[in-house]
Amino acid sequence: MKERISEQISGTYTASLTANSKDIIDFEVVSEAHKYNITGEDYNFNYKITSLYAYYNLPSFALKPPLTYNITDTEAQRIANDIEFKRVYNNTTTSNEGKFYATKLSIIAIFNTGWQPTLGEVLLYNNGTFQNISLTEVIWVDIMSEKLKLKAEVTPSLGPLDSITIVGGYIGNVNYTFETGEQHHTITNLYP
């Protein structure tokens, strides 16, 4: 007799960028690894990103200029200041020394069909020290398929002293059909 079974799975991942792109996690490889531990057939995997962080230090980029607000600024004025700041200081503009102000970190889902949607982007600045940022608020979806891998790309490329490390975790489940063996039923005399 066959039964459908669901089991919880979880794991963590780490990826260090030293060039302009790096695979973060390949869920197809993760799924194959779990299949070796399970005897069954007709597998179905589902994943959810529970955490996704970038830890970075960008000494080859220009120092981030201070963004200041007046105490009397309204919320609309602050939003306008933020937009203007990102227009002037971003991954395409440079300082007087020719250094870029920021690098744009993009998180991309690569499906085995070739489709590659960008899940989210964020500008990373040189603040003169190691920084971290939660990327779970940046990506627009946290449910992942077993048929994709996550990739990180930066524009412009990192310098030799720059570092970005992406770490995170996932939970999920695997559903599969399992052969439980034959079942024998004993019928007893119900009426004396």
Residues 63-95: pLDDT tens digits? Answer: 999 988 889 999 999 999 999 999 999 999 999
CATH of domain 2-179: 2.60.120
Of 60-69, 83-92, 119-128, 172-181, where does mean pLDDT reach its minimum? 172-181
How large is the average pLDDT for residues 128-134?
A: 95
Per-residue pLDDT for 183 more than 80? no
Provide the terminal-to-terminal Cα distance of the chain, rounded to the nearest Å: 32
Beta-carbon contacts of 107 under 8 Å, excluding residues fewer than 6 positions away, are: 24, 52, 118, 119, 120, 121, 135, 138, 139, 150, 151, 152
Q: In b/e form, how buried is each residue of 152-187, taking b as 16+ CB within 10 angstroms?
A: bbbeeebeeebbbbbbbebebebebeeeeeeeeeee
Residues 16-67: pLDDT tens digits? Answer: 998 788 999 999 998 888 777 666 777 788 899 999 999 999 999 999 999 8
Residues 136-146: pLDDT tens digits? Answer: 989 988 888 88
Confidence (pLDDT) at 112 = 84
Confidence (pLDDT) at 181 = 62
Per-residue pLDDT for 100 more than 50? yes
Confidence (pLDDT) at 185 = 47
Confidence of residue 122 (pLDDT cuts 50, 70, 90): very high
Of residues 102 and 67, which shows the higher confidence score?
Answer: 102
CB 52 within 8 Å of CB 127: no
